[in-house]
Structure 1
Amino acid sequence: MSSVPSGFPASSASSVPPGMPAQPLDPQIAQLLDMVARAKRPPLHHLDPADAKIAYEKSALILDVAPAPVHSVEDMAVPARDGHAIPVRLYAPREASWAEPLPLLLYFHGGGFTVGSIATHEPLCRLLCARADAMVLSVDYRLGPQWKFPTAVDDAFDVLHWVFEQAPRLGADASRIALGGDSAGGTLAAACAVEARNRGLAPVLQMLLYPGTSARQDTPSQRALADGYLLTASMIQWFFAQYLDREQSRDDWRFAPLDGGGSGADVAGCCPAWIAVAGYDPLHDEGVAYARKLRAAGVPAEVADYPGMIHDFFKLGRFVPAVARAHDDAVRALRTAFGTAPPV
C-alpha cells in the first residue's frame, strides 16, 4: 500500500489509540495524502483568506466526479433580512409539473464558513439531483472573514423560509423538502432543522455529511487526527477565527448544535437525520455524538460510517472509487425520505 502519514494505526485493534479507527485508510486515500505531502503546497490556513478562497476554488473540482447532466440549472437570488441578495442555484432533474411537484434538497456547501461556493459543489449537487430525482437548491451564503457569525446562519435561515414559501412557484413539493450540507454546510443544515421545528416547518430529512457540531475541539478523534489527514486542528481553528465574531459565540447553538452553551440545541421534534462520518476525520466523533443527541430526544438518526475515508471525501469520487458507495447511500437516504422509488 502507498505510504501513509505518521500515526497510521497498527494492525492490532488493541493497540489503536482512542479516536483512531482500527481499519486502515482506503488505499487511494493513502495515495492521495502521500501526493499532497510530496506536493508541499501551502495549506489553506497558511494563506491570506482571499487567496485561500481562490486556491480552494481552483482545487475543489480536480478530484470530484464529472458533473452529471440535469434537465435545467437556474441562478436566482433570495432576499436576506438585511437586504442582501443571496445567490442560489436550482438544479432540476426534469420538467416540474404543477400536478406532480418534485421533492427538493436545500443544500449548503462546506468550506469552514470561509471558502467554497456554489461552483465548488456543483458536481455533488448535480449528482444528487440526477440520481435522487429531486430538485437541489444550492446556497451561496456569505463567508468570513468579511461576514462574521451569525451572517451565514441567518442567510441559511432566510433561504429555508423562502424555499418553503416559494415551493409551489418553483415546482417543488413543500411536503418533501430535505436539508443537506457537508462540513460547515452540515452545521448550517443541522441548525436549519432546529429553526424549521421552531417555525412549524416540516422538512423530511437532515442529510449531514461530516458535519461540524461541537463548540470546542476536544473529542478523541480531534486529538488523534489533529494532523496528517487533510483537515487539521490548525486549519479548523483558522476557519473559526475567520468566521466567529467573538469567542463567546462558540457557545451559541447555531454555531455548535451539539454542545454550544453546554447543552447545545434543543432538538426534540426535529426531522430525521442521516449523518455520514469518516473514520480519519477529526470531526468523526462529533457527528456520531450528534446522532446520539438526536436519538436521545426521540429523533430518528442513522449514522453511515466510512472508516477508511477522510474529511471532504464525498468530493473525491474521481480519484477514490470507494466514494461511489457513499454516494449510493446518500441517494438512497434521500429517496427513502422523499418516498420515491429507487432508479431502475
Structure 2
Amino acid sequence: MHADEIHPQAREAMAAQSDLSRLRRLGPKPLRLLARAANWWQNRDPPAVGGVEDRTIPGPAGKIPVRVYRPRGDGPSPTVVFFHGGGFVLGSLGSHDILCRRLVRESDCAVVSVDYRLAPEHPFPAAVEDAYAATEWAAENPDFLGSDRGLAVVGDSAGGTLAAVVSLMAADRGGPDIDHQALVYPAVGADERHESVERHAGTVLSKADLTWFRDCYFESDIDERNPYADPMHARDCSGVAPATVVTAGFDPLRDGGTAYAERLVSEGVPVRYENYEDMVHGFATMYEVDRSRELVADLAADLRGAFAPRE
C-alpha cells in the first residue's frame, strides 16, 4: 500500500511547508492569516483559464462565496463543484486556486469552488449544509454556468469528505443528479487502529493534528456518528454517484479511504480506486510535484469519461 520511501519531490515539498503541529497552537484565525499570505505568493502567476469570477450564492445561513472558473471555448460544458481541504478548519478559495485552474484546463469543465463555513466558529453541519446548497445552486443555474447539465463533485481531504457526503445526500433526497464524485484522500472511515495511522501519523498529519481538527469540527460524539459527517456510517450507499477514490501511500487517512472505496464496490457503485504509493497527504496542492499534475490529469480523464454520453 506504500512504496519503500516517499518520493523525493514530495519530501522536498514537505520540508518547505510550515509545521502544522507547531503552528496550530496559534489557533485557527492566525493560521488562516498565515495561509492567506502564503497563498498570495503561491498564486502570483496562475495558469490561465477562460474566465474567473468571484461571487456569492444563496446559502442556508447567508451568502456563500464561490469562485467560478470557466474553460476556454464556447461550450456548453459540464460543471464540477469543488470543495477544498483543510480539516474543515483551514483552506479557502485561494488555497486551491491553482488546483482548480489545472482541473479546468485538463477537463474542459467549469469549476465552482465553494468557500464553505469553517469550524470551530461554524461546527458540523455548517460545512455540509453549504456544500449541498452550492451543489443545488450549480444544478439549478446551468445557463449562468454555461452548463450542459453534467454535474460532478470533487474535493480533497475534508473537501473529499464533503463531496462524498453531498453525493450521499443527493441519493437520499432525490437530487440533484450527480454524474460523478471524485474523492482525493478523503477523511472518511478514519480509525486510530488503522495500520496507516499507526505507521504514518506524523507524516504531514500527526495524531494530535487529527484530534485537533476533529475537536474543532464536532461538538459531540453523536455528531461524529452522523452519516452526513462520515458516509461510512450510512446504512446504504448503493445509490450514490460513480466514484473516483484516491489515496496516498504515506497518508494516515489512507486505510479509511480504501475502506470506503471497497464499501462502494460491495454495494454496486462503479469505482476507480488509485493509491499513489509514494505520495503523502496533501500532494494535490504540492504543485511542483509531478504526481500532482498526474493526479489532475487522471481526475480529468475520469470526468470526461463520466460525461462522455453528453458529448
CA distance in 2, matches of 1:40, 1:146: 23
Residue type at the aligned position of 2:275: D
Q: Which residue is equivalent to 1:43?
A: 22
Q: Compare the two structures and name the one with the higher helix fraction.
A: 2
Q: Which residue is equivalent to 1:199?
A: 173
Q: Where do 1:238-257 residues align within 5 Å?
A: 238-257=212-231
Q: Deviations over 1:86-142 (max 9, x none)?
A: 011110013555xxx210100000000001111111100011111111100000000
Q: Deviations over 1:128-161 (max 9, x none)?
A: 1111111000000000111011010011111111
Shift of 1:256: 1.3
User: Is this contact kept in 2: 1:63–1:317, CA < 8 A?
Assistant: no
User: Is this contact kept in 2: 1:65–1:317, CA < 8 A?
Assistant: no
Shift of 1:55: 2.4
Please tell me whether residue 209 in structure 1 is matched to residue 198 in structure 2.
no
Please tell me whether residue 166 in structure 1 is matched to residue 144 in structure 2.
no
Q: Which residue is equivalent to 1:85?
A: 63
CA distance in 2, matches of 1:41, 1:267: 34
Calculate the TM-score normalised by the size of structure 2: 0.92
Shift of 1:66: 5.3
Structure 1: which 5+ runs fail to align?
A: 1-19
Q: Which residue is equivalent to 2:261?
A: 291
Residue type at the aligned position of 1:224: R
SS in 2 for 1:79: strand
Residue type at the aligned position of 2:209: M
Please tell me whether residue 274 in structure 1 is matched to residue 244 in structure 2.
yes
Pairing partner for 2:72 from 65, 84, 94: 94
Q: Which residue is equivalent to 2:7?
A: 26
**Distance change (3 Å), C-alpha of 1:268 and 1:133:** same
Shift of 1:162: 1.5
Residue type at the aligned position of 1:75: D
SS in 1 for 2:85: coil
User: Is this contact kept in 2: 1:142–1:152, CA < 8 A?
Assistant: yes
Shift of 1:190: 0.2
Shift of 1:248: 1.8
Identity %: 35
**Distance change (3 Å), C-alpha of 1:77 and 1:95:** farther
CA distance in 2, matches of 1:256, 1:67: 33
Residue type at the aligned position of 1:29: A
CA distance in 2, matches of 1:200, 1:296: 22
SS in 2 for 1:43: helix
Please tell me whether residue 144 in structure 1 is matched to residue 125 in structure 2.
no
Q: Which residue is equivalent to 2:295?
A: 326
CA distance in 1, matches of 2:296, 2:254: 18
Please tell me whether residue 317 in structure 1 is matched to residue 287 in structure 2.
yes
Q: Deviations over 1:176-235 (max 9, x none)?
A: 1111000000000000111111232321110111001126433110121111x1122111
CA distance in 2, matches of 1:298, 1:241: 34
**Distance change (3 Å), C-alpha of 1:94 and 1:265:** farther
CA distance in 2, matches of 1:165, 1:41: 39
User: Is this contact kept in 2: 1:104–1:178, CA < 8 A?
Assistant: yes
Q: Which residue is equivalent to 1:57?
A: 36
SS in 1 for 2:269: coil
SS in 2 for 1:238: helix
User: Is this contact kept in 1: 2:169–2:228, CA < 8 A?
Assistant: no
Shift of 1:316: 0.8
Q: Deviations over 1:290-344 (max 9, x none)?
A: 11110111001111110111001011122x22332222211211111121899xx
SS in 2 for 1:280: coil
CA distance in 2, matches of 1:69, 1:306: 27
Shift of 1:64: 7.9
CA distance in 2, matches of 1:335, 1:221: 32
Shift of 1:77: 1.4
User: Is this contact kept in 1: 2:191–2:197, CA < 8 A?
Assistant: no
Calculate the TM-score normalised by the size of structure 1: 0.84
SS in 2 for 1:322: helix
SS in 2 for 1:308: coil
Aligned-CA RMSD value = 2.3
